[in-house]
Amino acid sequence: MQYRTLGRTGVQVSTLALGAMNFGAIGRTTQDEATALVDAALEAGINVIDTADMYGAGESEAMVGKAIAGRRDDLVLATKAALPMGDERNHRGGSRRWLVTELDNSLRRLGVDHVDLYQIHRWDPDTSDEETLSALTDLQRAGKIRYFGSSTYPAYRIVQAQWAAREHHLSRYVTEQPSYSLLQRGIEAHVLPVAEEYGLGVLVWSPLASGWLSGAVRAGRDVSTHRASFLPQRFDTAIPANRARLEAVEKLVKVADEAGLTLIQLALGFVTAHPAVTCALIGPRTLDHLHTQLAAADTVLTADVLDAVDAIVAPGTDLAPDEKFDTPPALLDPALRRRR
């Protein structure tokens, strides 16, 4: 396992991190299975576990808490908040009212007195940066969080938040958690350069593109990824974006074969090769999944392999642009780009 410094914090983290979204109902993972995954990940040298309040409506956090009991100080524990936790209109977002309440809920579920990294799961357009950063700064000073970061923020919102922190003399986001893979490279154009400029640690999610890069989606075969059961549109090859992904996957498999790598090694080695990326979040459901992904822990891609990847999926290109989560609201809502 390799280790890198998380932004400018001085904290050393493994280049592969364990994502816990599949713990519980989402991944149909039992407590015993989750604990076994944590055991194996820590044994392999992974020292980062990332979860969120809304994964299984708190179930993932509770399972992580049980799995790490007695060894909390051996790992960097990260969670997130801001996405809806039920139907109550104020049980979401980046307001002080909600973040103060929900952090206590997360700490209770995790069975700890602090988290190392608390992340705002999505930018909340209804809440000012000053409001959110002020609450996070106070929670940090209270010792409940060590650092805080953003997740899936557009580049311009990362910049705005950095400015707001300086303008109002508040602590700043020290990490960003974006989606990044061989098939979704859009963040190379804006988010990753901004992260480098501000010295942010970058923890990328979905480096295997929801199963597209795990070997579960191949031409002429039935789709075997768990995600297809509840997100079938993402794997319907009648959709042009999915056809483009399938064509790219088949070409990438050949690149991996010629380099003596598995597709998973190619995919994880690719994202961790970018100088702005600190670590890649893997989200295994089974020990077999985990072991195939751990095989990429020391993968270093040569320049000719990276050049071959660039020839298949151009730098800065998203093959499935409709699946991006950092699109500015005005691109989605016509009323926001028309003068009234």
Question: Residue 168 — φ and ψ, nearest 5°?
Answer: -105, 10
Compute mean pLDDT per 10 residues along the chain, 340 residues long, and list them.
97 98 93 97 98 97 97 95 96 98 98 98 96 98 98 97 98 98 96 98 96 83 64 78 92 97 97 97 95 95 97 95 78 84
Question: Residue 159 — φ and ψ, nearest 5°?
Answer: -65, -45
Q: Which of 3, 55, 118, 147 is catalytic?
A: 55
pLDDT at position 220? 67
Pairwise CA distance, residues 55 & 79, whole Å: 10
DSSP lists the bridge partners of residue 29 as: 23, 24
Pairwise CA distance, residues 135 & 171, whole Å: 10
Residue type, 41: A
pLDDT at position 331? 79
DSSP lists the bridge partners of residue 120 as: 81, 150
**Active-site residue flag, 55:** yes
pLDDT at position 336? 85
Sequence-separated (6 or more) residues with CB below 8 Å from residue 107 = 113, 114, 115, 144
Pairwise CA distance, residues 79 & 219, whole Å: 36
Distance of CA 266 to the CA centre of its chain: 18
Domains detected in the chain: 3-332 (3.20.20.100)
DSSP lists the bridge partners of residue 3 as: 14
pLDDT at position 224? 61
The first and second tokens of residue 6, run together, are: 């998380």
Return the number of other C-beta atoms located less than 10 Å from residue 130's C-beta.
14
Q: Which helix (H) or strand (E) holds 176?
A: strand 175-177
Number of H-type helices and E-type strands within the chain: 11, 10
The first and second tokens of residue 43, run together, are: 């044994």
Checking 164-169 for CB contacts under 8 A at 24+ apart, the result is: 164/128, 164/129, 164/130, 164/133, 165/129, 165/133, 168/130, 168/133, 168/134
